[in-house]
Amino acid sequence: GASHTQKHQMLNLNRRLETYLSRVKHLEEENELLAKEIQGMRYNNQGAQVHRMSMEEELRQTRQAVDEAWRDRVLAEFEVNKMVEELESLDLQRQREAEARMRAKTKLEQSRKELEEEQRAQIWLRQKVSQLEQEINILIQNHHEDVAHLETQLTQSKVRMPQRVQQTPNLLQLGQEYSQRATRAWQEAAEAYQFQLARMEESLDQARGRLSQVNQEKEEIQLKLKALEKEIVSEHEVRQHLERTGEKPLIVIHCNQSEWLMSATAS
């Protein structure tokens, strides 16, 4: 597309420059011939003043045409070099933008994977919390059952052995020990549950913070992509402008060369 058009324009410009150089060389050769003829006429015919002045005028015009051709050539080369530098700069900028888009795409994909991992981690944490809640409920239920069983045994012991009053303190002490052990077991289980629950909540907070950071990075990447798209559109317009204006120096050169060639032919 655009690269092929630029290559075609450069080849066309090179052919035109070669044509101009060939014409300049031809004019220089004619200039030398005219100079020799004038010099010979000065020696051979001192009286041909009018013809000599005519030839000198023609020589002057030829020299002027040669000078104009060289100026046009210098201008054309300057414009070509300037356009080449601008196109190279645009190509380099486009390459950098392509690399930036690739980095942004990679970063976005990485953020998406991290987000999925955080979501899976949150699901696992919720399941683990639910499991711990079920376990602590079972421990509480078992504790209540153990206490009720001990209370039942104490009541039955009191009913069966009312005459052995001296053993009652031992039974009461045994019941209290069982109750204390069950209470300690329940407290330890509750403390372990609270500790694990606190760790789960801390992990959830970290996951939420990471999720917020990923969303923020995603928004920043999207903003960068939009800015890059705007720069690409702007550079595309600049390139089209250069392609439209790149032929103007060639048209000016061609017109100047046509004028002095017509003048030389008429002379």
Residue 239 pLDDT: 66
* CB neighbourhood size of 45 (10 A): 11
Residue 262 pLDDT: 43
Residue 163 pLDDT: 47
Residue 192 pLDDT exceeds 50: yes
In angstroms, the CA 135 to CA 125 distance is 15
Residue 175 pLDDT: 61
- The tokens 């003829």 sit on which residue? 37
* Average pLDDT of the segment spanning 165-189: 65
Residue 162 pLDDT exceeds 70: no
User: In the chain, what are the helix, strand and coil shares in percent, each to the nearest 5?
Assistant: 95, 0, 5
Question: What value does the mean pLDDT of the chain take?
Answer: 74
Residues near 108 by beta carbon (within 8 Å), at least 6 away in sequence: 218, 221
Residue 2 pLDDT: 63
- What's 163's DSSP letter? S
Separation in Å, CA 233 to CA 94, 183, 238: 11, 74, 9
Query: Where is mean pLDDT largest: 69-73, 129-133, 225-229, 262-266?
Result: 69-73
In angstroms, the CA 220 to CA 101 distance is 13
pLDDT (tens digit per residue) in 105-161: 888 888 888 888 878 888 887 888 788 778 777 877 877 787 777 778 767 766 665
- The tokens 């410009």 sit on which residue? 13
Q: Compute the Cα dihedral for 222, 226, 228, 232 and give only its sign.
A: positive
Q: Are the C-beta atoms of 210 and 114 separated by less than 8 Å? A: yes
Q: Are the C-beta atoms of 30 and 228 separated by less than 8 Å? A: no
**Residue-number span of the structural domain to which 176 is assigned:** 2-266
Residues near 192 by beta carbon (within 8 Å), at least 6 away in sequence: none
Residue 251 pLDDT: 40
* Token representation of residue 188: 């330890």
* Token representation of residue 194: 């609270």
Residues near 12 by beta carbon (within 8 Å), at least 6 away in sequence: 250
Q: Compute the Cα dihedral for 196, 199, 205, 207 and give only its sign.
A: negative
Residue 61 pLDDT exceeds 70: yes
What is the three-class DSSP state of 213?
A: helix
Residues near 133 by beta carbon (within 8 Å), at least 6 away in sequence: 193
pLDDT (tens digit per residue) in 204-254: 777 677 767 767 776 777 787 777 777 777 766 766 766 666 544 444 434
Rounded to 5°, the CA angle 51-53-59 comes to 105
Count of domains in the chain?
1
We report the CATH number of the domain holding residue 63 as: 1.10.287
What is the three-class DSSP state of 246?
A: coil
Assign 47 a pLDDT band (cuts: 50, 70, 90).
Answer: low
Lowest mean pLDDT among 83-97, 164-178, 192-206: 164-178
* CB neighbourhood size of 72 (10 A): 22
Residue 28 pLDDT exceeds 50: yes
Residue 195 pLDDT exceeds 70: yes
Percent of the chain with pLDDT over 90: 0
Residue 39 pLDDT exceeds 80: no
